[in-house]
Amino acid sequence: MAAPVTRQVSGCAGRVLSPSGSNPERGQPLAADVAELPVQDASGRRVTFGALFRERRAVVVFVRHFLCYVCKEYVEDLGKIPKSVLREADVTLIVIGQSSYHHIEPFCKLTGYSHEIYVDPEREIYKRLGMKRGEEISSSGQSPHIKSNLLSGSLQSLWWAVTGPLFDFQGDPAQQGGTLILGPGNSIHFVHRDRNRLDHKPINSVLQLVGVQPVNFMSRPTVIHV
């Protein structure tokens, strides 16, 4: 296995977090061995996870898999966040999936997402961060970012699978994602682990935590000045 390379930005354009995934207290550092785990960019280049947020804070969103209609619609809204407001706050937005890197470019074209994106095809970072497998149905709620219902969304996912350039399901469908705010360095500021496919943290709630103005997701990527 090749050694991870120095970070190359991939876009489409103390106490530690234990391996068991116990919820860290705010301010605890990310375990050094987790920071050294590799992710891949759209070209298949390997970079260490910790390099993604070594120099600045990052909102890191782990998605279920690239054929999940819920993840697709959530990432569509992430793509509406203007790069200018992130630069102003000195914050990076990163999506991490669990498919082969070959699926990154088609997913970005599908969603219009142009911020940073990587994959963890072995799901090793998901596991070490305690991301859940399976769904807590009893805790399901309605995400403000999801427009499709279960039937129409599932049909869309199937259509993308059979018409896509690579016919596979692009990850473990039982794997849940989550959202973290990390950096600079191995600092952990916030952790949310999704309990089910609709349990994404509302994007504006996360942006507020990093000092970014709310975004209007109903139309074009307009910042709401408050």
pLDDT in tens, 130-175: 999 887 765 555 667 667 545 444 445 454 455 555 545 567 888 9
Report the pLDDT value the prediction gives residue 115, as an integer from 0 to 100: 97
The three-state secondary structure class of 73 is helix
Question: What percent of the chain is modeled with pLDDT above 90?
Answer: 51
Could you tell me the CA-to-CA distances from 95 to 14, 98, 116, 151 in Å, in that order? 27, 10, 6, 26
Contact 114, 11 (CB under 8 A): yes
Could you tell me the CA-to-CA distances from 17 to 22, 83, 124, 166 in Å, in that order? 7, 30, 14, 35
Query: What is d(CA 117, CA 60) in angstroms, rounded to the nearest whole number?
Result: 9
Mean pLDDT score of the chain, rounded to an integer?
A: 79
| Token reading at 208 | 């507020």
Query: Which of 12 and 182 is assigned the larger pLDDT?
Result: 182
Condensed to tens digits (0 to 9), the pLDDT of residues 71-126 reads: 888 999 999 999 999 999 999 999 999 989 998 998 899 899 999 999 999 999 99
Q: Quick one: pLDDT band at residue 20, thresholds 50, 70, 90?
A: very low
| Token reading at 100 | 């082969």
Query: What is d(CA 145, CA 63) in angstroms, rounded to the nearest whole number?
Result: 14
Could you tell me the CA-to-CA distances from 199 to 102, 124, 147, 180, 202 in Å, in that order? 27, 21, 14, 14, 9
Query: Which of 169 and 226 is assigned the larger pLDDT?
Result: 169
Instruction: Give the residues across from 193 on adjacent strands.
Output: 178
Give the angle subtended at the CA of 185 by the CAs of 181 and 191, to the nearest 5°. 20
